[in-house]
Amino acid sequence: LEKVMNGRQPTDLMLRCTVLDAEGNVKTISGQFKKSDLSAEHQLNPRDLRKIDSRVPNLVPTILVRKQAILVNILHIRALIKADTVVLFDSYGSADSRLHSVYLYHLEHNLKLKGSGLPYEFRALESTLLSVLSALEEEMVFIRTLVSGLLAELEDNIDHDRFKRLLHYSRRLASFQSRAKLVGEAIDEVLTQDEDMVAMYLTDKKNGVAHSSLEHEELEMLLESFSKQVEEIVNEVGNIDTNVQSTQEIVELILDSNRNALLALDLKVSIATFGVGTGALMTGLLGMNLTNHFESHPYAFYAMTGAAGLASFLVAFIGFRKLANLRKIGLSRSPKPQRPWLPLPLRRRSQDGWF
């Protein structure tokens, strides 16, 4: 426990960051910075930087608005956006992933593109959210491919190993769904707080341009657009999930119904075995070493053979009839469909348009 408590106390750690300057050029690649220097330089609370610390895995994405900076911590991106600088924190030591380098490339490009009308910090934010979005989309497409492939295989054959894969996929689906939802919530949280949105106009703040708490249309449209797209992904994942759910339910029904069919076949075999057994009992009786007085009757053998065969057949026939009765199941085999009394106006309605 002490460890946990100490681990939470601010210690002076080095963070590896990539810094982009006001022109969009990379100033430092994976440089080492002291945590305390960073928080002093960017006027941040040490508590804020703790989230950035890559050694702690984080589930809940956040967009924090501070005096001179926006701290974005979503999925693979941990960035500090200021009015003229962007600091990217390397997530796991060295510059690692394809996603990250595409992000960096796009960010550089977008920051250099001054003509778009958006201030520096929003262009950085746009690139960041775009990278998040494409990561989500990519994984969504990937999971969708996996799941629909598996469901297509289930069309052909329901079996053991496919259930195990289904388990793995639905675990992934659930985890992805929760992540995507949390990203959406992080964006929406900013959208619902007017002060935060105004505080995000870092360039204007720096230049002393005041915004009233309702002037943030540009940013709102930017965020709303991303929010919608994340919502779309969440929705699609929800559809996949519903699909998996209803497949599971129906598969269970099919297995149940198949089990009944197996049981019925088993019963047929049992009945036939019973029939044969009855015949065998008869032959056994005559096989006893006792005087049955027909020992030398010339046709007794044929008669008994016929009798045993007939007994077997009869017994089996009766059994099959009983079984056939049991197998006829429907939802309405009740002798007469009862029509319960119902207040008139309601009754009419229920014929017209209600179930």
Q: Within 238-297, which residues bind a second copy (CB under 8 A)? A: 238-240, 242-243, 246-267, 269-274, 276-281, 283-297
158 or 207: whose CB is closer to a second copy? 158
CB of 6 to a second copy, least distance (A): 9
166 binds a second copy (CB under 8 A): yes
User: Which residue among 11, 32, 207, 225 contacts a second copy (CB under 8 A)?
Assistant: 225
Instruction: Tell me the closest approach of the beta carbon of residue 133 to a second copy, in angstroms.
Output: 8
Total residues contacting a second copy by CB under 8 A comes to: 148
Question: What is the spatial distance between Cα 184 and Cα 180, in angstroms, rounded to a whole number?
Answer: 6
Enumerate residues 130-159 that contact a second copy by CB under 8 A: 130-131, 134-135, 137-139, 142, 146, 148, 151, 154-159
Give me the residue label for tokens 């289904």: 166
Residue 258's Cβ-count burial label (10 Å; 0-12, 13-18, 19+) is: exposed
Residue 339's alpha-carbon distances to 103, 133, 204, 330, in angstroms, are: 67, 56, 73, 18
- Choose among 197, 201, 269, 190: nearest CA to 230: 190
Q: Which is nearer to a second copy, 14 or 250 (CB)?
A: 250
Which part of the chain contacts a second copy (CB under 8 A), choosing from 2-10, 23-31, 82-90, 200-208? 2-10
Please, is 248 exposed, middle or buried when counting C-beta atoms within 10 Å of its C-beta (0-12, 13-18, 19+)?
middle
Query: Which of 328, 248, 132, 198 has its CA nearest to residue 124?
Result: 132
Assess contact for 71 and 47: CB atoms under 8 A.
no
> In whole angstroms, what is the distance from residue 207 CA to residue 281 CA?
106
Q: Are 166 and 143 in contact (CB under 8 A)?
A: no
Smaller CB separation from a second copy, 210 or 328: 328
Nearest-approach distance from CB 152 to a second copy, in angstroms: 9
Shortest separation between residue 219's beta carbon and a second copy, angstroms? 13
Q: How far is the CB of 30 from a second copy (least distance, A)?
A: 16
Minimum distance of a second copy from residue 215's CB (angstroms) = 13
Query: Would you say 28 or 278 has its CB closer to a second copy?
Result: 278
Quote the tokens at residue 70: 């926006």
Which residues within the stretch 49-108 sit at the binding site for a second copy (CB under 8 A)?
A: 57-60, 62, 75-76, 91-92, 96-100, 102, 106
The 3-state DSSP class for residue 297 equals coil
> Could you say whether residue 210 binds a second copy (CB under 8 A)?
no
Distance between CA atoms of residues 230 and 258, nearest Å: 41
Q: Does 4 bind a second copy (CB under 8 A)?
A: yes
Q: Which of 81, 125, 182, 223 binds a second copy (CB under 8 A)?
A: 182
Residues 113-132 that bind a second copy (CB under 8 A): 130-131
